[in-house]
Amino acid sequence: EKIKHLYRNTPRKDRPELTIYWSFDDIQRQMRIIAKKRKEYYGISFFDKRCMSHIPGETNNPNKFIDRVVLFNNGRSVSFSSEIKNDSDLQEYYYWMVKFKPTWLDMESNFVARLFEFLRTNNLALPESIKYIEIRASYLSLKSELQATV
């Protein structure tokens, strides 16, 4: 039996609501496959230190993070709010990355694009500790795109 996937986005003006129906086994199977390939190809483990991005308070955010920077997962993960207001937010996130020394990034494509633009503009480099970047898919933004996938 299919259940509502734990990750359901909240509709905003730039994207419709999207609810994915998966069983718990579907979710676990997907995560195991991705983790196996990540380890096989890049030597990256889920237990390595990572930086993530989250949308504060959104149902897509299973931990319901509301703070801009959240340290969790027994100190192995830090998550940054994807609601970036200005370059000082990005400067703070960059400082966290340098200090935290993550092995990998697990972030939404829009966040990564803004981060890399900030790095380029300010002549900064990613911390040398980062060996892998996993970009999560962007949300569907047009109703026609959503209908085309059904």
Q: Considering only 1-5, 46-50, 68-72, 92-96, which range has the smallest mean pLDDT?
A: 1-5
Alpha carbon 81 to its chain centroid, in Å, reads 10
Q: How many CB atoms lie within 10 A of CB 120?
A: 10
In this prediction, residue 65 carries a pLDDT of: 55
Taking only the tens place, the pLDDT of each residue in 76-131 is 889 888 888 899 999 999 999 999 999 999 998 888 999 999 999 999 999 999 99
Please name which of 84, 83, 45, 78 lies closest in space to residue 63, comparing C-alpha atoms: 78
In this prediction, residue 142 carries a pLDDT of: 40
- Supply the DSSP symbol for 59: T
Phi, psi for 70 (deg, rounded to 5): -130, 125
pLDDT classification of 74: cutoffs 50, 70, 90: confident
Taking only the tens place, the pLDDT of each residue in 22-31 is 677 877 888 8
Task: Spell out a b/e string for 18-56, using b for 16 or more CB atoms within 10 Å of the CB, else e.
Answer: beeebeeeeeeeeeeeeeeebeeeeebeeebbbbbbbbe
Please name which of 59, 47, 56, 51 lies closest in space to residue 19, comparing C-alpha atoms: 59
User: pTM of the predicted model, to two decimals?
Assistant: 0.71
